[in-house]
Each structure stands twice: as C-alpha cells, then as structure tokens.
Amino acid sequence: MATTAAELGARLDSARAGGLSVGLVPTMGALHRGHGELIRLAADQCDVTVVSVFVNPLQFGAGEDFEAYPRDLNADAELAGRAGADLVFAPSVSEMYPSPIQTTVHVDGLTTVLEGAFRPGHFDGVSTVVAKLFAMTGRCRAYFGQKDWQQLAVVRRMASDLSMPVQVIGCPTVREDDGLALSSRNIYLTPTEREVAPLIHVALQAGAQLVADGETDPVTISSVMVAVLATELAFDLHYAVAVDPDSLQSPPAFNPGDPVRLLVAARLGRARLIDNAGAIVGLHPNPYDRKADTTCAGA
C-alpha cells in the first residue's frame, strides 16, 4: 500500500526503468466484482497494476453523499490483491489537495449535458482528480468502466487534448444476473427498490433492440425507454436518451450503421442509478450485447 504520491512515483519509476509497463485502475473504493474485472484486465495486460482508492471530495456536489459514501480500505485491498493488483494507492484528502486547489481541468461540451446537467461541477472534479492521478502515476494504461460512459468519454478527451502519456481503456459493464449494473451505491437500495432496479436494464435493452431493428429517430428510441420505466412509479427518471457515443449529442436522426449509445439515469429512493447500452442502427445481432461485449475498447 502506498499513501503518498512520492512513494507511488518512486515505485512506478523504478518499474518503468526496469522495462515494466504500468496499469492504473482509478476507483473510489467500496470495490465490487465490477472493479475486480477492471483490475483483472489491467493485470492481464500490464506488468505492474496500481489501484487507486480515493473518495474525491471535488466531484461531490452540495447535498450529495460524500460523507456517507461507503469506505472499507482493508476489504478493498483484499479484493484488489485477489484480482491481481500489485499496489493500492490510498492517499488522504490532504495528500491529494495539500492546499485549496486553484487549478482545475474542464473538458468543454461533454460535461454540461446528461450527468453534468444534474450534477454541476461533477466532471470538473473528476477530470481534475484523474489528471492528478495520471500525473502521479506517469506513463500507463488506465482502465475505466463503460458503466460510467460519460466519465469515460470525458477522461478519454482530456487525455487526448492534453497529450497525456496515458492510454485510456474502456471496459464492459459487470452486472448482476438480473441485469442490474454493479455499483457501490446499490447498497442504498431497500429490498423492494432492489427488486425493481433491473428495470433500467430492461429499458436499455428495449431501446437497443429498437436501434438494432433500424429505428433512426432519437425521440422514438427515448420514448420507448421512458415508457418501460414509467411502469414503475418508484423511479424518478432524470433522463433516458439515445446519443452519439462520442459527442453525447442526439442528432436529428441517426443513419443506418451508426453506433448509438443509450443512457439512463434515475433516482430510486436514496440511490441515483446510471446505466447505458450500445447498439448499431439496423445491425443484428447487437455487437454490444452483454454476452458479446467482452472486449475492452482500446485494448
């Protein structure tokens, strides 16, 4: 375990000097099988795998769950080790932010829509902490989950725009058997809410099916997902949209062969759940189907 940037840097510099490649898996801890898969992939593809565990205050808005966010560093270290991590980097808030931060990273455009509209400033917090983790880690491959599609798009864009020596790799979403995407926040669900939560995945699959069947109108695709979720009153739906996977914008109409990303966010009791799925207009079988979607983009 390393807790300071100096320890981390020394360890990784000497690994790279010895010709070893470095993989980084940034997390906020409360690790589950989804994180475990990212770590496993990193460990498969890199000589030295680092898992960072840091609940980043900068990316939580007022009234969000920064204080309540689940924390269990011992369990995290154990899961990370079992999945193949060589090192856990768990800095304190004062190690990451020794003085009030005056420099932040802002990725334009991608960050004001969807999650950005509901969580103002969230992505500035994410890109700033990820930029710091990249700087502390140095040249590496960094593994992010497709579960947080918009975050992946933002981080990819930041690394590219700022010529960071980091290859960003997006990995498939790990789900429960009933389709619910694994999330550290699922523990906030009551047993009744947990039962209805997989409806988000059902809605996404309905949207993906429509796209694969050739539907080109984003509004029609969105309304089918909204209709599925409207069958369960416990959901407070924030958005259910069909967008271009990179720009995150909905065109007036998709064209046959276009990749489409479907994204849903909804509050369910105390938890705010987000999930997404991909499809290609008019293409069967859907190459992003969860059984087929086992490769890591950029790997």
Task: Give the residue numbers annotated as catalytic, written as ranges.
Answer: 35
Contact pick of 58, 83, 153, 174 for ligand AMP (by CB under 6 A): 174
173 binds ligand AMP (CB under 6 A): yes
Name the minimum Å distance from CB 158 to ligand AMP: 14
Q: Does 28 bind ligand AMP (CB under 6 A)?
A: yes
56 binding ligand AMP? (CB under 6 A): no
| Residues in 141-170 that interact with ligand AMP by CB under 6 A | 144-145, 147-148
What does the alpha-carbon distance between residue 93 and residue 276 come to, in Å, rounded to a whole number? 31
Q: Contacting ligand AMP (CB under 6 A), which of 52, 111, 137, 184?
A: 184
128 binds ligand AMP, rule: CB under 6 A: no
Using CB under 6 A, pick the residue from 182, 206, 230, 237 that binds ligand AMP.
182
H or E element in which residue 238 lies = strand 235-243
Choose one: 79-87, 99-107, 182-190, 290-298; the region binding ligand AMP (CB under 6 A).
Answer: 182-190
Residue 85 contacts ligand AMP per CB under 6 A: no
Binding status of residue 186 toward ligand AMP by CB under 6 A: no
Task: Pick between residue 105 and residue 210 the one whose CB is nearest to ligand AMP.
Answer: 105
CA atoms of 258 and 282, how far apart (whole Å)? 9
Q: What is the DSSP string of 160-212?
A: HHTT-SEEEEEEPPPB-TTSPBP-GGGGG--HHHHHHTTHHHHHHHHHHHHHH
Number of Cα atoms under 13 Å in the Cβ half of residue 198: 8
- Under the binding rule (CB under 6 A), the answer on residue 218 touching ligand AMP is no
| Residue closer to ligand AMP, measured from CB, 111 or 173 | 173
Note whether 222 and 242 are within 8 A (CB).
yes
Q: Which is nearer to ligand AMP, 128 or 184 (CB)?
A: 184
User: Which residue among 56, 183, 216, 222 contacts ligand AMP (CB under 6 A)?
Assistant: 183
Asked if 173 contacts 253 with a C-beta cutoff of 8 angstroms, the reply is no
At closest approach, how far in Å is the CB of 187 from ligand AMP? 12
Contact 261, 281 (CB under 8 A): no
Q: Is 35 in the site for ligand AMP (CB under 6 A)?
A: yes
Region near ligand AMP per CB under 6 A, out of 68-76, 160-168, 181-189, 245-253: 181-189
Contacts 24+ apart (CB under 8 A), 108-115: 109/247, 110/150, 110/153, 110/154, 110/157, 110/247, 110/248, 111/154, 113/150, 113/248, 113/249, 114/150, 114/239, 114/241, 114/243, 114/248, 114/263, 114/265, 115/150, 115/151, 115/265, 115/274
Return d(Cα 78, Cα 64) in angstroms, integer. 28
Binding stretches for ligand AMP (CB under 6 A):
27-28, 34-35, 37-38, 144-145, 147-148, 171, 173-174, 181-184
